[in-house]
């Protein structure tokens, strides 16, 4: 894309030193201004679930106070909404707040895959599945950028799936796994939502720092995916500014002032860096500044928000309710059936002091906070008493608190216990070492259940917790994740029945940490983490091993039920010219008594692949509109060649193998309601025949087989000679390269035969 004329003009007027300075920020949160030429500074701020605009220059580690902003549900919660429309609306609100606070680029969303439940930043990521991460990430970016003058920064590119040793560790990942699991989310966001910027990760990918990785930053994202925006470093990710610039890293944040700029100038003067490469990065910085004309103005502390804080809070509340996942609801204990005279025991400090966001660079200073206790009190029918006991101290065991809670539970009609992880348990910067809830909380559950079996547990945690050791004590479990400043209101709406849960798990909840596919290879050691589970991440792994889990990917109950019917799949077009499309439809009907949305999931299975593939992979999902009892909706998906393909490490491209494919629609990866099989034709995979191709490969090749049979010939009875007459021997040594068989007497293959065969092969 040619530069706009004034950008080209500016580029021509900049000195070398000015150009170098533009490739670094001027402080922690701003790009460098060049007042002489009227080039303003623009502001970048975290992200991703609320703005963290720091007044002045910030605190230089960027973690402390920020201007009030709406704290929306974190990505772990939004991921469970499976709702791109809702996510887009949240993005729009973020864009509005960014504009109001003079922020040009919002640092988010984070779309890294949840490889292990232990990753300290899982609360900032959407899913273990690349489709969910990509679709929701794209929706958030589209929403943020809908203001036209605010951009997003998709992060952390790429393979930043842990916090342990995050600035040095090399994520060692094979090509197919990168392409099928860790890159498609970024690819979808970049190609569909066209983010203004992408943020490179701290870590190395296969030994090369993301910030200096030419393949990632240039060949893949620009040449292959067509990214035209700006590549910014994660804060402090640049080790060698010249190498990073050459790899495609346009902007270093925060700036190593006096060091990185001097290195760039020296490298150009010394001839190690082509000035044209520097110019390209500068041009991208200028274009970015150019896209954000009305920002760069610090609004300062204490200034009115400049956005409709009430409306955004209401959106945060609706979103919180939309994201919660009802894991279990024995005997339909929820929604609470309350009448005058009942007592609800609300237990747990989190009911009064909610956990609603994670720690680290994404921490937002909320405009207000709702707690569940007040919200439940406000919502119960007249005559219902709501009593509270904290039950446990945050981080301490307190027998008196527990005893008080148990006594309250004993005299209540229903107990609602608000449990969760402590802020100190999960954060940016470190990974967890266990999936367990704090011991003082799990110890309390069994005692509460003994006092009153009508026990509901409401969870607040950013990363998945283990349930298998305590959930049998409860009748209902509502997983709310870290769902923002209106978490309390959202939970209350669901408990009382003002809203109907429609969230689904965007990650599997295993019975135990040890079952997680990454368990033996997380977080690695000695500077390397080997992604040994390959493509079998999350449900792909649990399902391949047939492991029982607490709750499968996609799971989420509601206060109603749905029937799935009339699955159809129609194949049109052909794979050869990439017009292949499979239109899949199915009808879902609300067969229960309450209105609700249903998340319909489409899984694809390739039963005959030559590459080992997960038993099923999510290739489409849709959230219906709210369906009234008895109401039906037909949902439609469109699959394309890529959705049926795997990444071939031989061909270094996506490969579709013709044959049958099973398509299943369902409510979870393990609750497939309807399945149909389609037959897809695709050109056979070309096999490169040479002297190292095996006998089996020669025999399977449409041309090679005939040549080989002709060369070996038949005996006087018309039977094949040598090895071709001995099927058992073919089974034993058929996997030998043909040239190796030339040394074996009596097989009918010698060096002359091989030379002859190679000479007669048509050009491949």
Q: E strand or H helix at 568, and its extent?
A: strand 562-572
List the interface residues with ligand BGC, window 147-166 (CB under 6 A).
155
Among residues 454, 502, 496, 450, the alpha carbon closest in space to that of 476 is found at 454
Q: Among residues 95 and 615, whose Cβ is nearest to ligand BGC?
A: 95
Show the site string, 91-130: x = touches ligand BGC by CB under 6 A, - = not. ----------------x-----------------------
Phi, psi of 347 (to 5 degrees): -120, 145
- Give min distance, CB of 281 to ligand BGC, in A: 20
Show the site string, 447-486: x = touches ligand BGC by CB under 6 A, - = not. ----------------------------------------
DSSP string, 240-264: -HHHHHHHT--BBSS--TTTHHHHH
List the interface residues with ligand BGC, window 668-697 (CB under 6 A).
none
Q: Among residues 523 and 541, whose Cβ is nearest to ligand BGC?
A: 523
CA distance 258 to 463: 40
Burial class of residue 463 (count of CB atoms within 10 Å of its CB; 0-12, 13-18, 19+): buried
Does residue number 234 form part of the binding site for ligand BGC (CB under 6 A)? yes
**Cβ atoms of 200 and 237 closer than 8 Å:** yes
Burial class of residue 733 (count of CB atoms within 10 Å of its CB; 0-12, 13-18, 19+): middle
Q: What sign has the CA pseudo-torsion 472, 478, 479, 481? A: negative
Q: Among residues 54 and 645, whose Cβ is nearest to ligand BGC?
A: 54
List the interface residues with ligand BGC, window 413-442 (CB under 6 A).
none
Interface pick for ligand BGC out of 25, 62, 84, 489 (rule CB under 6 A) = 62
- Give min distance, CB of 162 to ligand BGC, in A: 12
**Cβ atoms of 467 and 437 closer than 8 Å:** no
- Give min distance, CB of 523 to ligand BGC, in A: 16
- Give min distance, CB of 252 to ligand BGC, in A: 13
- Give min distance, CB of 300 to ligand BGC, in A: 20
Show the site string, 38-57: x = touches ligand BGC by CB under 6 A, - = not. --------xx----------
- Give min distance, CB of 254 to ligand BGC, in A: 8
Q: Among residues 130 and 360, whose Cβ is nearest to ligand BGC?
A: 360
Among residues 597, 599, 617, 598, the alpha carbon closest in space to that of 607 is found at 617
- Give min distance, CB of 219 to ligand BGC, in A: 24
Burial class of residue 212 (count of CB atoms within 10 Å of its CB; 0-12, 13-18, 19+): buried
Establish whether 234 is a catalytic residue: yes
Q: Among residues 254 and 666, whose Cβ is nearest to ligand BGC?
A: 254
Residue 528 Rama label (left phi>0; alpha psi -120 to 50; beta): beta
Interface pick for ligand BGC out of 72, 123, 126, 235 (rule CB under 6 A) = 235
Interface pick for ligand BGC out of 70, 145, 177, 361 (rule CB under 6 A) = 361
- Give min distance, CB of 246 to ligand BGC, in A: 23
CA distance 749 to 743: 8
For tokens 């079952």, name the residue: 515
Does residue number 69 form part of the binding site for ligand BGC (CB under 6 A)? no
Q: In three state form, how does the secondary structure of 603-665 look?
A: EEECCCCCCCCCCCEEEEEEECCCECCCCEEEEEEEEEHHHHCEEECCCCEEECCCEEEEEEE
Q: Among residues 44 and 635, whose Cβ is nearest to ligand BGC?
A: 44
CA distance 495 to 486: 14
List the interface residues with ligand BGC, window 363-392 (CB under 6 A).
none
- Give min distance, CB of 234 to ligand BGC, in A: 5
Q: How many CA atoms lie within 13 A of 186 on its CB side?
A: 31
Q: Which residue is nearest to ligand BGC (CB)?
A: 361
* Sheet (strand 170-172) strand order: 208-209, 204-205, 170-172, 528-530
Q: How many CA atoms lie within 13 A of 303 on its CB side?
A: 18
Q: Among residues 249 and 513, whose Cβ is nearest to ligand BGC?
A: 249
Query: Site size for ligand BGC, by CB under 6 A?
Result: 8
Among residues 644, 639, 673, 640, the alpha carbon closest in space to that of 657 is found at 644
Q: E strand or H helix at 280, and its extent?
A: helix 275-291
Marked catalytic residue, from 46, 234, 493, 643 = 234
Q: Among residues 80 and 233, whose Cβ is nearest to ligand BGC?
A: 233
Q: Among residues 89 and 121, whose Cβ is nearest to ligand BGC?
A: 121
CA distance 279 to 275: 6
Terminal CA-to-CA distance of the chain, rounded, Å?
Answer: 37
Q: Among residues 48 and 524, whose Cβ is nearest to ligand BGC?
A: 48
Does residue number 186 form part of the binding site for ligand BGC (CB under 6 A)? no
List the interface residues with ligand BGC, window 479-518 (CB under 6 A).
none
- Give min distance, CB of 364 to ligand BGC, in A: 12
Contacts of 503 (CB under 8 A, 6+ apart): 77, 80, 81, 82, 322, 323, 324, 325, 326, 479, 556
Q: Among residues 60 and 653, whose Cβ is nearest to ligand BGC?
A: 60
- Give min distance, CB of 361 to ligand BGC, in A: 3
Bridge partners (DSSP) listed for residue 417: 347, 457
Q: Site residues (CB under 6 A) for ligand BGC? A: 46-47, 62, 107, 155, 234-235, 361
By annotation, the residues acting in catalysis are 234
């Amino acid at each position: 894309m040619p530069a706009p004329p004034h950008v080209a003009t500016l580029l021509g007027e900049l000195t070398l030193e000015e150009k170098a300075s533009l490739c670094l920020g001027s402080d922690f949160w701003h790009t460098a201004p060049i007042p002489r030429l009227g080039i303003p500074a623009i502001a970048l701020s975290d992200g991703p679930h609320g703005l963290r605009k720091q007044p002045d220059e910030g605190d230089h580690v960027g973690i402390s106070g920020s201007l009030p902003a709406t704290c929306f549900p974190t990505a772990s919660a939004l991921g469970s909404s499976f709702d791109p429309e809702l996510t887009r609306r949240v993005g729009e609100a973020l864009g509005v707040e960014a504009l109001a606070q003079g922020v040009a680029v919002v640092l988010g969303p984070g779309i890294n895959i949840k490889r292990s439940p232990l990753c300290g930043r899982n609360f900032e990521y959407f899913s273990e599945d690349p489709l969910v991460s990509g679709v929701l990430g794209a929706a958030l970016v589209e929403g943020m950028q809908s203001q036209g003058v605010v951009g997003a920064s998709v992060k952390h590119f790429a393979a930043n799936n842990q916090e342990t040793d995050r600035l040095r560790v090399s994520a060692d990942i094979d090509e197919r796994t990168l392409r099928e699991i860790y890159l498609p989310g970024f690819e979808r966001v970049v190609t569909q939502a066209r983010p203004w910027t992408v943020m490179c990760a701290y870590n190395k990918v296969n030994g090369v720092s993301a910030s200096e990785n030419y393949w990632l930053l240039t060949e893949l994202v620009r040449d292959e995916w067509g990214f035209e925006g700006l590549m910014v470093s994660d804060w402090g990710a640049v080790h060698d500014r010249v190498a990073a610039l050459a790899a495609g890293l346009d902007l270093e944040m925060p700036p190593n002032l006096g060091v990185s700029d001097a290195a760039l100038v020296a490298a150009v003067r010394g001839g190690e860096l082509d000035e044209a490469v520097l110019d390209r990065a500068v041009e991208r910085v200028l274009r970015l500044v150019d896209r954000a004309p009305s920002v760069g103005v610090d609004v300062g502390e204490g200034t009115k928000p400049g956005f409709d804080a009430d409306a955004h809070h209401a959106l945060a509340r609706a979103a919180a309710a939309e994201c919660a996942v009802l894991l279990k609801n024995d005997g339909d204990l929820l929604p609470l059936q309350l009448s005058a005279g009942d007592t609800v025991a609300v237990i747990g400090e989190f009911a009064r002091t909610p956990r609603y966001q994670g720690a680290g660079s994404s921490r937002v200073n909320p405009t207000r906070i709702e707690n569940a206790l007040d919200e439940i009190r406000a919502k119960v029918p007249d005559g219902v008493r709501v009593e509270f006991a904290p039950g446990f101290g945050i981080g301490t065991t307190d027998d008196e608190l527990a005893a008080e809670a148990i006594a309250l539970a004993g005299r209540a009609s229903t107990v609602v216990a608000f449990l969760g992880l402590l802020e100190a348990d999960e954060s940016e910067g470190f990974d967890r070492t266990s999936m367990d809830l704090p011991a003082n909380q799990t110890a309390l559950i069994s005692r509460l259940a003994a006092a009153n079996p009508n026990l509901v547990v409401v969870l607040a945690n950013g990363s998945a917790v283990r349930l298998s050791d305590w959930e049998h004590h409860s009748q209902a479990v509502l997983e709310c994740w870290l769902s923002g400043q209106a978490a309390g209101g959202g939970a209350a709406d669901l408990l009382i029945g003002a809203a109907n849960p429609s969230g689904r798990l965007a990650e599997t909840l295993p019975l135990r940490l040890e079952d997680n596919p990454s368990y033996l290879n997380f977080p690695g050691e000695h500077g390397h983490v080997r992604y040994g589970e390959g493509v079998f991440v999350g449900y792909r792994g649990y399902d391949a091993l047939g492991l029982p889990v607490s709750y499968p990917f996609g799971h989420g109950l509601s206060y109603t039920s749905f029937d799935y019917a009339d699955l159809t799949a129609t194949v049109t077009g052909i794979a050869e010219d990439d017009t292949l499309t499979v239109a899949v439809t199915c009808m879902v009907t609300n067969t229960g008594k309450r209105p609700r949305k249903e998340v319909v999931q489409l899984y694809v299975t390739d039963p005959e692949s030559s590459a080992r593939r997960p038993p099923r992979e999510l290739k489409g999902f849709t959230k219906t509109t709210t369906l009234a009892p008895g109401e039906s909706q037909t949902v439609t998906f469109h699959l394309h060649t890529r959705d049926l393909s795997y990444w071939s490490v031989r061909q270094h491209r996506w490969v579709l193998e013709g044959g049958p494919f099973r398509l299943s629609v369902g409510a979870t990866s393990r609750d497939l309601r309807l399945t149909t099989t389609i037959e897809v034709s695709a050109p056979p995979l070309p096999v490169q025949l040479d002297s190292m191709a095996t006998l089996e490969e020669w025999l399977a090749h449409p041309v090679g087989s005939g040549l080989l049979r002709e060369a070996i010939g038949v005996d006087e009875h018309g039977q094949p000679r040598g090895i071709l007459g001995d099927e058992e021997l073919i089974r034993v040594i058929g996997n030998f390269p043909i040239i190796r068989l030339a040394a074996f007497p009596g097989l009918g293959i010698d060096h002359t035969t091989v030379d002859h065969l190679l000479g007669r092969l048509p050009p491949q």
